Amino acid sequence: MTTNAEEPQTRPRRRTPAGAAVLREDVTEAIRAAVFEELAAVGYARMSIEGIARRAGVGKTAVYRRWKSKLHLVLDVVSAIAVMGLPTPDTGSLEGDLRLLYEVTSRALRHPVASQIIPDLQAEAARNPEIAEAMQKTLREGQEGVASKIIVAAEQRGEVRAGLNEELALDLISGPLYWRSVVIRSPKLPKGYLPALARATAEALKAL
């Protein structure tokens, strides 16, 4: 039997576009980890998508499916740093909440990778407005999210007055430790520094 050339042929099944594929979370996390390592090893300026992909054990396509460029990838990492390990303390007192926050934040900031990445990104931020804006937004939001909850809880317990200057309160909470750990990069905190900082900050907040 001869097949009529005009008869409709069975259409081949359409393949799902590569970009529409489900992105594996384990691959995404491997790439993020590779970014931290690559930033710490070579810095932002020398970092490349090729180097990240090689370190993560994936192809460049896997990286580009998730992020449009090196800049977008680094901005995602900045967001991760901003909330790295930060808890929402609930110790029952303002001073206790601050002390727990400072202990966890100090460990995160002093992590060997983070301690190398953040100063490098700060240097890049001076040259790149997009990185500067992203760092300001994400790092501040990460701290503010936790610090705001500490203040609200303290208000509810009557430890601080309602309606205090929240902007100033957030600066008091976040500023000193960030200054010592990131800006002047003190190699080691003095003995008893974090409890003393928590106590002093709590008293300052009560005075607002």
Instruction: Please answer whether residues 161 and 187 qualify as being in contact, where contact means their C-beta atoms are separated by less than 8 angstroms.
Output: no
Ordered DSSP codes for 51-110: HHHHHHTS-HHHHHTT-SSHHHHHHHHHHHHHTTT-----SSSHHHHHHHHHHHHHHHHT
| pTM reported for the whole predicted model | 0.66
Q: How confident is the model at residue 30 (pLDDT cuts 50, 70, 90)?
A: very high
Round to whole Å and give the CA distance between 154 and 96: 11
Q: What is the pLDDT of residues 37-63, one digit of tens each?
A: 888 788 888 899 999 999 999 999 999
Q: What is the pLDDT of residues 105-159, one digit of tens each?
A: 888 777 766 667 777 777 878 888 877 887 777 666 666 778 888 999 999 999 9
pLDDT at 104: 83
Round to whole Å and give the CA distance between 141 and 192: 28
Distances (CA, A) of 84 to 87, 103, 201: 9, 13, 22
Least confident of 27-36, 90-99, 136-145: 136-145
